[in-house]
Structure 1
Amino acid sequence: MSKILNQVLLANREYSNDFEKGDLPMPPGRQFAILTCMDARLDPAKYAGLAEGDAHVIRNAGGRASDDAIRSLVISYKLLGTREWFVIHHTDCGMETFTNDIMSGLLDSSLKTSSVDASGWHDGGEGQGSADGKYINWLTIKLKFPNY
């Protein structure tokens, strides 16, 4: 196992041993949901003043209303009683740093992690890439297969 996996498993064990919120109802107590970015610099609980059980938080790249995010929000409303939804974006979002062509090109070049600097994105390695990236609209995350 990796060092990070061990750290996560240990933290989870400690969290679950001390967890006292299991009796909270499934519907969020404050009856709202947030759709926001997955940016690791942001903590929705802190910037929205949330405690466990307060709200649903749906996160994805760029806080986009993708098909999956909409599915989650509809379930949040229809089955779990949320009455308000907030879409919260932020400054310096990574989704503003590339286009569909850039992402597709990076994937086509290789499957290694890319890097970015002042001149733009750069492929991270050699080897087999994937041309399938051209079938995805990366900025809205909708498939664009012909006849789909």
Structure 2
Amino acid sequence: MREIDTYSYRCGVMDCFCEMVRAGVKALALSHPVDSRAEWEELGPFAAKIAAQYGVKCYPEAEPLVTDLFPLSATCGKFLYLFYRADHVLEEYLRLKERKASMVAGRAYFGGNRTQIAREYGRLLSYSPETVRALLEANRDRERV
């Protein structure tokens, strides 16, 4: 089998997710997170181009929302792109980040509050409640706040 370079693979994933957002399958989609700003910036022109090609929007995210939905090691300190059609989806995402930050600052980010943030993030990503529940149960690499 022929090897696929990492850049091309990541571009293919973004293409697929933009198509899913355009089709209404997902309200919000994420590119694969990358470790370095340089790699993220290299992907930027393609992310913008493919989003425009599908008629969706692209938001460069240098500080992704970290929740218990995904392992800490897959999100914290990473860089990614968000793809969405409706502005209110990005606004909801940004409000969710603000709510989490406010809870952390107020020492209220635990228990049901913490789980609710993760569930709302999953809903924005168009995950079913069952998928969200499974991701939360499987995640053992959680943020300590």
- Structure with a larger share of its residues in helix: 2
Q: Which one has more relative contact order, counting CA pairs under 8 Å at least 6 apart?
A: 2
TM-score tier after normalising by the smaller chain length? under 0.3
Return the TM-score normalized by structure 1: 0.26
Larger radius of gyration: 1
